[in-house]
Amino acid sequence: MPASQPRPTRISILLRLYPRDWRARYADEFAGLLADTALTPAKVLDIAFGALDARWSADYPSAAGDDRKVRRPMVDRLAALLTAAGGIYFAALMAVILVASPPEDGPAYIAALLVVPVAMAALTLGIAGLSLSRSGGDMVGRALGLVASALAGGITLAILYLFLVGDAGWDALMALFAGFAAVTGLVGLRIALSQRDRLPGAVLLVAGAIATVLWLTAMLPGTGPADVTTLNFGIVTVAWGIVGLLRLRPTRVATAMA
Amino acid sequence: MPSDLTDLGRFTEPSIAILVALSDGPKHGYAIMADVQATAGQPLGPGTLYAALGRLEHRGLIEPLPAEDRRRPYRLTGLGATILRTHLHQLDRFVQTGLVRLNGSAASGAGA
């Protein structure tokens, strides 16, 4: 038995680093172990990493079973937060461009446009995270999520290309966006049809449908493809962001997609 | 190596040490930490211990026994014993192969 034992308050603080369902299962015996252990800085760090692992992976027995809707490991939550952040970021961009209307060659306009690839990259990672999270489900939904992520990644690269090289490549960007909007609609349809909470699914479905129609109207005379593309990006990206925010249990998105 | 242990990622080695610690009978957390320190020569932190215990219990390789004064002993399950035995046999073959090759190399080097 070690000479110096940690105080109960210190043990209580360390226990609170762990998720609630982990504490429900292990807190008593873990507190007993810590009471018998001299807590060196190395051991405190080890406990902190253990708590992070419990929150990240949720790979332990729980009264909630393996239901990730209830357990909400951090790996699922971060993906949804990233998706929501992408939508919010894009909304900020749209506000700067559409409301403040800075001159097109001014620094504010350039700075706002540079947010686009960042937001799309966040969307790419967020959607990939949602579809890859270990939530079970069928192969079709998982594949749809990965396709949406790949298309969003393609859009990111296409936008970067346009920034760096010039105006060539709008057609490729439009084609990528049409695919992204269509897959977004399909994912929304799956969520709307398969979940009790159908609002986020409906948001995605409607956003995908509107964006696809807008893309088609870009072919009409007198409609600038750049304006329509920007509008499409706004609608779909903010829709993904809204879904990320509405889904206080983001694993439900992953479950529907996966 | 059995897939049931390799899918434990960075917790594979601590998990094997824990399974070995439990192979001669049930032990609680503090006793497991002391046993691992004594047999493997490496300290096992409380966070790593419980991350590995959770994974092992989740996979049915160990099971908890009723707690005794905030100390909960764990014991090896039949599945855990089988997987540990297989893993140790594989490790043994690996060690023997390495030693044979090393000795052969040393002998041929001495003869050259």
Report the topology of domain B3-107: Arc Repressor Mutant, subunit A (1.10.10)
Establish if A65 touches chain B: CB-CB under 8 angstroms.
no
For the cut 50, the answer to whether the pLDDT of residue A233 exceeds it is yes
Q: How big is chain A, counted in residues?
A: 258
Q: Which residues of B make CB contacts under 8 Å with A?
A: 28-30, 33, 45-51, 54-55, 57-58, 67, 69-72
Residue B106's pLDDT is what?
Answer: 72
| Main-chain dihedrals φ then ψ at residue A7, nearest 5 degrees | -75, 150
Residue A199's pLDDT is what?
Answer: 67
Helix (H, G, I), strand (E, B) or coil at A37: coil
Question: For the purposes of burial, counting CB atoms within 10 Å of the CB of A102, is it exposed (0-12), middle (13-18) or buried (19 or more)?
Answer: middle
Give the percent of chain A with pLDDT over 90. 12
Chain A residue with the nearest C-alpha to that of B46: A47
User: Residue A46 and residue B47: Cβ atoms within 8 Å?
Assistant: yes
Q: Which pLDDT band, with edges at 50, 70 and 90, does A258 fall under?
A: very low
A-interface mutation test, from B7, B50, B57, B72, most A Cβ less than 10 A away: B50
Helix and strand counts by DSSP (H, E) for chain B:
5, 2
ipTM over 0.90: no
Chain A residue with the nearest C-alpha to that of B70: A29
User: Residue A43 and residue B69: Cβ atoms within 8 Å?
Assistant: no
Q: Which pLDDT band, with edges at 50, 70 and 90, does A248 fall under?
A: very low
Q: What is the mean pLDDT of residues A162-191?
A: 72
Under 8 Å between Cβ of A243 and A200? yes
Residue B53's pLDDT is what?
Answer: 96
* The residue to which tokens 């210190």 are assigned: A10
At a CB cut-off of 8 Å and minimum separation 6, what does B47 contact? A43, A46, A47, A48, A49, A50, A51, A53
Q: How far is B108 from chain A (nearest CA, A)?
A: 46
Distance CA A253, CA A247 (A): 7
At a CB cut-off of 8 Å and minimum separation 6, what does A247 contact? A80, A200, A253
Q: Which positions in chain A touch B45 (Cβ < 8 Å)?
A: 42-43, 46-47, 50
At a CB cut-off of 8 Å and minimum separation 6, what does A147 contact? A179, A183
Question: Mind listing the pLDDT tens digit for each residue in A79-132?
Answer: 666 666 666 666 676 666 666 676 766 776 666 666 666 666 767 766 666 666
Q: Higher-confidence residue: B22 or A251?
A: B22
Give the percent of chain A with pLDDT over 70. 42
Distance CA A49, CA B10 (A): 12
| SS3 of A235-255 | HHHHHHHHHHHHCCCCHHHHH
Q: Pick from A36, A47, A59: which is nearest to B58 by CB?
A: A59
Question: Mind listing the pLDDT tens digit for each residue in A130-148?
Answer: 666 544 445 666 677 777 7
Domain boundaries, chain B: 3-107
Residue B92's pLDDT is what?
Answer: 94
Give the amino acid at A86: G
User: Residue A60 and residue B71: Cβ atoms within 8 Å?
Assistant: no
Put simply, whether the predicted model's pTM sits higher than 0.80 gets the answer no
Distance CA B28, CA B67 (A): 9
Average pLDDT over chain A, rounded to an integer: 70
User: Residue B71 and residue A29: Cβ atoms within 8 Å?
Assistant: yes
Give the percent of chain B with pLDDT over 70. 93
DSSP tag of A22:
H
For the cut 80, the answer to whether the pLDDT of residue B45 exceeds it is yes
Of A134-143, A225-234, A249-258, B92-101, the poorest mean pLDDT is in: A249-258
How does DSSP assign A1-66, residue by residue?
A: --SSPPPHHHHHHHHTTS-HHHHHHHHHHHHHHHHTS---HHHHHHHHHHHHHHHHH--S--TTTT
Residue A131's pLDDT is what?
Answer: 61
Estimate the share of chain B in helix, then strand, then coil, as percent rounded to the nearest 5.
70, 10, 25
Establish if A8 touches chain B: CB-CB under 8 angstroms.
no
Q: Which of A51-60, A151-160, A171-180 has the highest mean pLDDT?
A: A51-60
Question: Mind listing the pLDDT tens digit for each residue in A25-37?
Answer: 999 999 999 998 8
Q: Higher-confidence residue: A26 or B9?
A: A26
Q: What is the mean pLDDT of residues B47-62?
A: 94
CA distances A116 to A65, A112, A146, Å, are: 40, 7, 20
For the cut 70, the answer to whether the pLDDT of residue B78 exceeds it is yes
For the cut 50, the answer to whether the pLDDT of residue B83 exceeds it is yes
